[in-house]
């Protein structure tokens, strides 16, 4: 019992230090960027008196230590400041934009995992064959081709030339604001409202960006699965299982894959976190109103509160998913427990 409490305390201390480090990094981002938030708020041609008054109102005339303590106090109360561009609280803007990224990333990582894991296993089992070489070439192409090339090419072919896919955006203008906002996830909200026309339109708009993100993520997942499986298939327990006369399918899925699955938890968690941080290029090309586009527009307009807020959220996502991966690791692998 004492050992478990010590482990729990150590874990909580580690999380606390990580969050403090994250707060320090995001605070410094707002201070070292070559952009004066005061000038961004009042304009370059504002009178000096207005600049000084605004600087005092924003608390930027105080010592840096006081500014940091004030920043921590605001974070503890969920206050990320206001956006100069939208005039809204940053927390309100993030709550509006993040569900679009969450919806896109969740669909993409599910497709990538469902396709990538079996492909990786297949490539490992067929090592050195044409199948293995083909899968490796497909993954190499997906991992090395710039995302904006895939996105623009997809729009050009399927939307502009063939006309079989909807254009950029999250939904057609006909369905704008027709579905009541409940969760922020358009497909879920359309289901709740029973509006199946809006649901079909939302799914149609998701297809291209989801498949592009899934292809990029699938390439990484497949390569890692293949590497893990090759290591597992060379293990002594697999050789023993084969010597006992077990079928190839049983050896692969009952003996080798469970050990691979444990390590894949971390790969999938980090892949998901990478998608949730905002697929900036994909969201920009497809005019997808998610966190990535919000961050890009804010940065281009020198709106630093949203930049810091979005960066903080990305860090929290990574911390949260790493913690979840560790917990799953303990459940799936008794040796860790």
Residues 39 and 176 placed together within one structural domain of the fold: no
Alpha helices, DSSP H, located in the chain: 2-32, 37-42, 48-57, 64-76, 90-125, 130-144, 147-154, 186-193, 196-233, 236-243, 248-250, 257-276, 280-285, 291-300, 304-332
At 323, list the tokens: 């913690």
Two tokens, residue 231: 């290591």
- Domain assignment present for residue 138? The answer is yes
Query: Per residue in 98-118, is it b (16+ CB within 10 Å) or e — as a string?
Result: bbbbbbbbebbbebbbebbbe
**In a shared domain, residues 255 and 141:** yes
Residue 199 lies in a domain: yes
pLDDT tens-digit map of 191-247: 998 888 989 999 999 999 999 999 989 999 999 999 998 888 887 767 676 666 666
pLDDT value at residue 167: 83
Same-domain pairing of 181 and 150: yes
Lowest-pLDDT choice from 7-21, 215-229, 318-332: 7-21
* Shared domain check, 114 and 63: no
Q: Both 66 and 154 in a single domain?
A: no
**Both 134 and 239 in a single domain?**
yes
Same domain, 205 and 112: yes
**Do 41 and 164 fall into the same domain?**
no
Residue 168 lies in a domain: yes
Q: For 86-114, write each residue's pLDDT tens digit.
A: 888 889 999 889 999 999 999 999 999 99
Query: Among 103, 99, 100, 104, which residue's Cα sits nearest to residue 216?
Result: 104
Percent of the chain with pLDDT over 90: 18
CATH classification of the domain holding 212: 1.10.3720.10
The number of domains in the chain is 2
- Within a domain: 53: yes
Q: Are residues 320 and 236 in the same domain?
A: yes
Q: What is the DSSP string of 121-143?
A: HHHHHTTTSHHHHHHHHHHHHHH
Give me the pLDDT at residue 231, please: 86
Residues 115 and 152 occupy one common structural domain: yes
Query: Among residues 76, 100, 122, which one ends one of the domains?
Result: 76
DSSP 8-class letter at 190: H
Question: Residues 10-17: what's their mean pLDDT?
Answer: 73
Residue pair 218/119 in contact by the 8 Å Cβ criterion: yes
Q: Domain span at residue 22? A: 15-76
- Residue 107 forms part of a structural domain: yes
Residue 2 lies in a domain: no
Residue 118 binned pLDDT confidence (cut-offs 50, 70, 90): very high
Q: Considering the domain boundaries, does residue 337 fall inside one?
A: no
Q: Same domain for 42 and 162?
A: no
The phi, psi pair for 89, rounded to 5°, reads -65, 140
CA atoms within 13 A on the CB side of 23: 18
The pLDDT value given to residue 111: 95
Q: Which of 76, 99, 122 is the endpoint of a domain?
A: 76
Q: Classify residue 3: in a domain, yes or no.
A: no
Say yes or no: 196 and 328 in one domain. yes
State the pLDDT confidence band at 136, using cuts at 50, 70 and 90: very high
Query: Which pair of tokens denotes residue 131?
Result: 């199948």
């Amino acid at each position: 019992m004492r050992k478990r409490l010590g482990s729990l305390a150590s874990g909580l201390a580690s999380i606390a230090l990580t969050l403090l480090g994250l707060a320090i990094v995001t605070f410094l981002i707002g201070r070292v960027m070559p952009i004066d938030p005061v000038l961004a708020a009042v304009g370059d041609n504002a009178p000096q008196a207005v600049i000084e008054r605004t600087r005092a109102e924003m608390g930027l005339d105080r010592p840096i230590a006081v500014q940091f303590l004030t920043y921590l106090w605001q974070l503890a109360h969920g206050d990320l400041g206001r956006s100069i561009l939208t005039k809204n609280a940053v927390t309100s803007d993030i709550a509006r934009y993040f569900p679009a990224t969450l919806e896109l990333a969740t669909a993409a990582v599910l497709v990538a995992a469902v396709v990538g894991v079996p492909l990786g296993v297949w490539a490992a089992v067929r090592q050195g064959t044409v199948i293995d070489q083909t899968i490796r070439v497909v993954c190499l192409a997906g991992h090395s081709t710039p995302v904006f090339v895939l996105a623009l090419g997809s729009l050009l072919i399927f939307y502009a030339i063939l006309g079989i896919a909807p254009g950029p955006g999250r939904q057609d203008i006909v369905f704008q604001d027709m579905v009541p906002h409940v969760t922020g996830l358009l497909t879920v909200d359309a289901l709740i409202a029973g509006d199946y026309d809006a649901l079909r339109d939302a799914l149609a708009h998701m297809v291209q960006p989801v498949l592009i993100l899934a292809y990029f993520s699938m390439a990484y997942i497949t390569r890692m699965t293949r590497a893990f499986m090759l290591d597992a298939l060379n293990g002594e327990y697999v050789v023993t299982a084969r010597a006992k006369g077990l079928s190839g399918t049983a050896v692969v899925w009952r003996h080798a894959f469970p050990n691979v699955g444990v390590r894949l938890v971390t790969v999938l968690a980090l892949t998901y976190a990478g998608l949730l941080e905002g697929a900036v290029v994909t969201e920009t090309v497809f005019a997808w109103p998610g966190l990535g586009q919000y961050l890009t527009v804010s940065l281009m307009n020198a709106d630093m509160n949203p930049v810091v807020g979005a960066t903080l959220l990305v860090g929290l996502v990574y911390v949260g998913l790493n913690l979840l991966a560790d917990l799953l690791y303990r459940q799936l692998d008794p040796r860790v427990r």
